[in-house]
Amino acid sequence: MATVPSVSYSITVRLEVPAGGQAVSQLTHAVESAGGVVTALDVTNAGHEKLRIDVTCAARDTDHAQAIVDQLEAIDGVVIHKVSDRTFLMHLGGKIEMKSKVPLRNRDELSMAYTPGVARVSMAIARNKEDARRLTIKRNTVAVVTDGSAVLGLGNIGPEAALPVMEGKAALFKRFAGIDAWPICLDTQDVDEIVRTVQVIAPGFGGINLEDIGAPRCFEIERRLRELLDIPVFHDDQHGTAICVLAALTNALRVVNKNIDAVKITMAGAGAAGNAVLRLLLAAGARNVVVCDYLGAVHKGRDDLDDSLQWIADHTNAEGYAGDLRGAIKGADVFVGVSAPGILTGDDIAAMASDAVVFALANPEPEVSVDEARRHAAVVATGRSDYPNQINNVLAFPGVFRGLLDAQADGVTQEMLLAAAGALAAVVTPEELGPNYIVPSVFHPDVAGAVAAAVRESAGGRARGFTEA
């Protein structure tokens, strides 16, 4: 629940008030006295006796929004006509659409775009399938694939409920990188079915973006698809997050004047995101890392290790620490949380090394109170938009896919991910860099282009397969 009014719970109340008297002046006071924030007040119809007014305001949650409406309705002479939830209005009918890029104004244009002229293009592709990248939407289209099993912080809510999120993802692809993306929401959580479905639809796309698929199935799905397909397969929850974390940490360490190969890093979370973040940090030079899950530190002595946790145990925690997260964070220079809310306190952050860096990325509630963390750490980042240093995957995935598509890459490599992270970090200039600005805004005009250029150069035109650290 939001603790302050948020545009996520923005409502527009259409009401009528008497044309004379004090009712109009009381509207703003009523909203504010209920704890809301008025963002707009528009007279939509005026008469001698009545005024129709749209009052737009931000609330904390749905109950708070209703309380604001009740407060408005209590004003003498006010008649409520309609209350609109602005977030739901934005989603009404979906957020994306398909439209033609070519005119279809007469028979000549129709005969080239469709039959009979299109047959010549189809036969050219039949002779050389690679021409599909040049002559069809394949060159600029990405499938955003989910099974609805791990959607945002909402959990396993299914493919229909995941669709608004995937639509939003597609809209971000278009807005930030000019890429046409389409949601593919699958009504199955069977690994074999997902792999086969994506395999058979792949000819129509230039890349596959796996999204919100629960661990550990997501690891196998990604691995198998990368073996089967000749287009890039990118799991944003893993690799998009990893790119953003490495970019932010690169700049955070510059702020505190520490080197990645010399710092102690404690991580909370060993799922899809944690695994990918860890691998990229190690590839970037991290040497002293301890990873904790809900059972405590991951180490070679545990008898519950699956393949993913075994890899973590083999590549981290050289001293074999077997305690809990609170013990692991003592003396650490860096904390990276991709786990659960409220698992640490301000005292835990105070026990870290001097000039500590804290990335508490659980959403919507981070692993530790942001205000408490900021009291003790030199640099704090979260996944939230209401604090500085928001780690948001939209900083990475549009530019990554723009670079992959431009290079006509048929795979993703660790080098590309490192290049993307380096380019993202470099968008923040030395003059701008500081404790409250370690990553650029998602609306910074240079972000997608810089990441795309780095990935394109790393791809070298074509890239095959994926190599882990």
Q: Out of 114, 174, 294, 330, pick the active-site residue.
A: 114
Structure tokens belonging to residue 313: 């145990």
Q: Out of 138, 169, 258, 264, pick the active-site residue.
A: 169
Element spanning 82, H or E: strand 79-85
114 is catalytic: yes
Considering Cα of 70, then 74, then 75, then 79, what sign does the dihedral take?
positive
Q: Residue 163's closest CA among 87, 235, 62, 91? A: 91
Structure tokens belonging to residue 226: 């990368």
Q: Residue 364's closest CA among 60, 34, 56, 37? A: 60
Contact 370, 387 (CB under 8 A): yes
Paired residues of 18 in beta bridges: 50
Start-to-end CA span in the chain (Å): 39
CA angle 374, 417, 272 (to 5 degrees): 65
321 is catalytic: no
Distance between CA atoms of 343 and 336, rounded to whole angstroms? 12
Contact 278, 267 (CB under 8 A): yes
Contact 9, 36 (CB under 8 A): no
Q: Strand pairing of 296-297 and 334-337?
A: unpaired
Distance between CA atoms of 257 and 228, rounded to whole angstroms? 44
Q: What single-letter DSSP state applies at residue 11?
A: E
Contact 424, 244 (CB under 8 A): yes
Q: CA 202: distance to chain centroid?
A: 23
Residue with tokens 């860890």: 278
Catalytic residues: 114, 169
